[in-house]
Amino acid sequence: MKYLTIFLITLMLISCSQSRKESEGNKKIAIVISTLNNPWFVVLGEAAAKRARELGYETTIFDSQNNTAKEAEHFENVISAGYSAILFNPTDTEGSVSNVKRAKEAGIPTFCMDREINSLDLAATQIMSDNFSGCVELGQYFVRKLNKKGKYVELLGLVGDNNTWNRSKGFHSVVDNFPEIEMVAQQSADFDRNKAMEVLESILQSHPNIDAVFCGNDAMAMGAYQALLAAGKAESIMVFGFDGADDVLQAINDNKIEATAMQSPKLMAQKAAEFADQYIKGNKDFEKKIPIAVEVVTQKNIEKFAIK
């Protein structure tokens, strides 16, 4: 009887140990991305998934299609499916707060990537590009290229996204100090290439004599360039973007676009996955926000950036 008891206890311990190992092996990380229609966010999502897999997690990528309701559905599914962490690219600074809150209440940490939510206490950390500083640098380059004088158009991104305003305000914190530089139109094109083309075509009807276009991302910069090309003004009007997308780097190299600011979606995604891993393993002490520096890319330093 005594030996039987010892045998059963040993068996139970082995069984517990195995089941624990299995549960550790099956840990899952969800990657919820605002939209997979934009190649930049595809890189962000895939880089996060790749790093999480390297760290031993199963991963699933969810596409919110720029829709907070869709995003809320994903969070419900992620919570009920027992994921260990969420690497999250929010659709809306305010609208995404409640989703992160529900995940936190369910004990699932969220790591925001690229875009922030307007809360300090809900996400484990928020990793994003230092958009403001990048646009301050870009703004200074813009002013010098215009010799402190000229007319320009600004194409904004999504108006509900803090990145849109951090970029715009960083740019204006420089450019607005020069009274002979005049913004003749400012309009949103939702970070979308086709919309940027349409919006600029329309603006050019009423403001044909501009010197430059400042765009809140590279997709819009490419759209703006297309509009200028169609209007026969591509050589006389300078275009500035933000992101460091491959096609814009190539366009800078070809003297079609003046400058952009190089973000690092892969670095942001990798950091988010590594922080999630650390959190799951017990280290929960992170800065609430971690900005990642961006670098201005111009025709002068384009050689530094590999063009694929």
Alpha helices in the chain (DSSP H): 2-25, 39-54, 68-80, 97-105, 131-145, 162-175, 193-206, 218-230, 246-253, 265-280
Site string for other proteins, 156-195 (x = CB under 8 A): ------x--xx--xx--xx---------------------
Binding residue (CB under 8 A) for other proteins from 247, 271, 273, 279: 271
| Comparison of 45 and 170: residue with beta carbon closer to other proteins | 170
CB of 5 to other proteins, least distance (A): 50
Binding residue (CB under 8 A) for other proteins from 6, 16, 267, 307: 267
Binding residue (CB under 8 A) for other proteins from 45, 109, 139, 244: 139
- CB 241, CB 218: distance < 8 Å: yes
Buried/exposed 106-118: b ≥16 CB within 10 Å, e otherwise: eebbbbbbbbbbe
CB of 143 to other proteins, least distance (A): 8
- What φ, ψ does residue 182 adopt, rounded to 5°? -120, 130
CB of 154 to other proteins, least distance (A): 17
Q: Is 216 in the site for other proteins (CB under 8 A)?
A: no
CA 96 centroid distance within chain: 14
**N-term to C-term CA, the chain:** 72
Residues 284-303, interacting with other proteins (CB under 8 A)? 287-293
CB of 274 to other proteins, least distance (A): 12
Question: Cα dist. 125→52, 62, 122 in Å?
Answer: 16, 20, 8
- What φ, ψ does residue 175 adopt, rounded to 5°? -65, -35
CB of 262 to other proteins, least distance (A): 12
- How many CB atoms neighbour CB 177 within 10 A? 11
| Comparison of 132 and 214: residue with beta carbon closer to other proteins | 132
- CB 273, CB 241: distance < 8 Å: no
Site string for other proteins, 92-131 (x = CB under 8 A): ------------------------x-xxxx------x-x-
Q: Report the alpha-carbon distance of residue 269 to residue 56 in Å, rounded.
A: 16
Size of the site for other proteins (CB under 8 A): 29
| Comparison of 33 and 294: residue with beta carbon closer to other proteins | 294
Q: State the residues that interact with other proteins by CB under 8 A.
A: 116, 118-121, 128, 130, 132-133, 136-137, 139-140, 162, 165-166, 169-170, 173-174, 267, 271, 287-293
